[in-house]
Chains A and B, each alone.
Chain A
Amino acid sequence: MIESKKLDPNFKFEVAKEMGNVNITRCFACGTCTAGCPVREIDSKYNPRKIIRMVLLGMREEVLSSDFIWLCSTCYTCYDRCPQDVMLTTLMTTLRNIAVKEGHVHPSFKEQARLVGSFGRLYEVEDFDNKKREKMGLPPVKKIHDEVVKLLEKEAEK
């Protein structure tokens, strides 16, 4: 049951403002997003139309602390098909970004951010990898991108 006392009526505006103008308030609940969603086809715990509804109702805490906001596969099918241009994929990114600020972050995404912040790439490259590449006739790749490490560090300090 939804408890109206716990709803945050400003949540939808917070979300819209966070990343450009996400047009969330335009949603008329047609369900085109959910109908074409490849994740929803496998598991109903991810349901884009329901997530939008929850945001519009102001269910801030439920949405931000949920597992389901981490399940969008970013295929952009709903983004392209939405008749109201709600920009759902962008919306899901926005919800994740806000969730992170509130301390809710999925461990696998946290680890990805740590790796990129430490090396400027998603995988740590060892000398072994470059030796292997050399044998294949491929040029070496840089192990650490100091410039990226610096850029993301600065970001974290703010």
Chain B
Amino acid sequence: MKYALFLGCTIPVRGQNYEMSARAVAKVLGIEFIDLDDFSCCGYPVKSTNHHDTVVMAARNLAIASEKGLEIATLCNACTGVLTETQKELEENEELRNKVNVELKKIGREYKTGVKIRHFSRILYEDIGVEKIKEKVTRDLSELQFSVHYGCHYLRPAEIYEGFDDPENPETLDKLIEATGAKSVDYKDKLECCGGAILGADEDIALAMANNKLGHLTFNPIDALITVCPFCTIMYEDNQKKIETKFECEYNLPTLYYPQLLGLAFGLGKKELGFRLNKVKANDLLAKIGVE
């Protein structure tokens, strides 16, 4: 199984623990990631100012994958959304496709139809499967409890995701967590947005959104929050101290990327899973399962 690994902007400089753990678990599962260093930003950050720029940037990234005949595996929910949405627009709208290709021709590229994009978690769920993951588990995590934040663009808009999960009542990530032997705990307002996309536009609102969620999450005695998107992690982990000060509360909630949890289940060490980079230290949960 080969995929072109699409890192986006945030992961390679602010979420290397996500990248390290994703690469490590892929290796265990026999997934080969191909690095294409021409992949740029997906295009999401310019959508508000110029939607057409987003389409052109996404189309260029899709063209790079199609030149190599590879399916794209993404790690960030926003990249997944923009690339999938653009692919759909270009497949359905010939006029737009021709217009975009005129622009891409200037840099010697061409968008060809049929490129596939899936989030790495979706690939784990669909191509590897819960049963196969269970077979690879070597470390007992049955004492641990987690809650998952899906992140909006992992599920929505539903029309671009071929019904792989139910956006109103999703289960793929819960099942992936339970495949490790740990428990996935439900909580209030599980689908609420992290607020990451408006952190720059209105920090007060964005932090209040993340604060509400952290409150609901910590209502239950969980060991950590699990995410699959660097933006959501920035809201819940990087900004956790700031939120605690602003709203005069204390959460101390470790936030792991799903592949970090999966790597622990596969018996990998905390160094290769990048735990050093987790800002809210996960030492208590690591001690529970005897990882030093």
A145 to B7: give the CA distance in the assembly, Å: 14
Contact of B158 among A71, A80, A108 (CB under 8 A): A80
**Least CB distance, B206 to chain A, in whole angstroms:** 8
Q: Tell me if A138 and B205 are in contact (CB < 8 A).
A: no
A97's contact among B49, B209, B274, by CB below 8 Å, is which?
B49
Tell me which residues from 66 to 121 in chain B have a Cβ below 8 Å from any Cβ of chain A: 103-104, 106-107, 109
For B43, B46, B107, B191, the residue with the greatest tally of chain A CB atoms inside 10 Å of its CB is: B46
A75 touches B (CB below 8 Å): yes
Specify which chain A residues have a CB less than 8 angstroms from the CB of B7 in the assembled complex: 141
Report the count of interface residues on A (CB-CB < 8 A). Answer: 58
Instruction: Provide the main secondary structure of the chain A interface.
Output: helix
Please encode chain A, from 123 to 142, with 1 for each CB lying within 8 Å of some chain B CB and 0 for all others. 10100010011001111111
Partner of A148, one of B16, B37, B40, B52: B40
Q: Are A70 and B60 in contact (CB under 8 A)?
A: no
Q: Which of A84-132 contact B (CB under 8 A)?
A: 89, 93-94, 96-97, 100, 105-106, 108-113, 115-117, 120-123, 125, 129, 132
Given A74-B197, A147-B60, A150-B107, A96-B49 contact (CB < 8 Å): yes
Asked whether A139 and B46 contact (CB < 8 A) given A71-B198, A77-B152, A123-B10, the answer is no
List the B side residues contacting A117 at CB < 8 Å.
46
Question: Across the interface, do B201 and A109 meet the contact criterion of CB distance under 8 Å?
Answer: yes
Residue of A at shortest CB range from B61? A148
In the complex, chain A residues whose CB is within 8 Å of the CB of B49? 96-97, 100, 105, 109-110, 112-113
- A selection of 8 A-B contacts at a CB cut-off of 8 Å is A19-B51, A41-B192, A41-B212, A89-B157, A100-B50, A136-B274, A147-B60, A155-B53
Among all A-B residue pairs, the 7 with the closest Cβ atoms: A108-B200, A76-B156, A122-B9, A75-B193, A120-B40, A75-B152, A145-B40
With A79-B156, A151-B56 already in contact, 11 other A-B pairs whose C-beta atoms are closer than 8 Å: A71-B205, A73-B195, A76-B152, A77-B156, A97-B49, A129-B13, A145-B41, A147-B38, A148-B41, A151-B57, A151-B104
Q: Which residues does A use to contact B, with CB under 8 Å?
A: 19, 38-39, 41-43, 46, 67, 70-77, 79-80, 89, 93-94, 96-97, 100, 105-106, 108-113, 115-117, 120-123, 125, 129, 132-133, 136-142, 145, 147-148, 150-152, 154-155
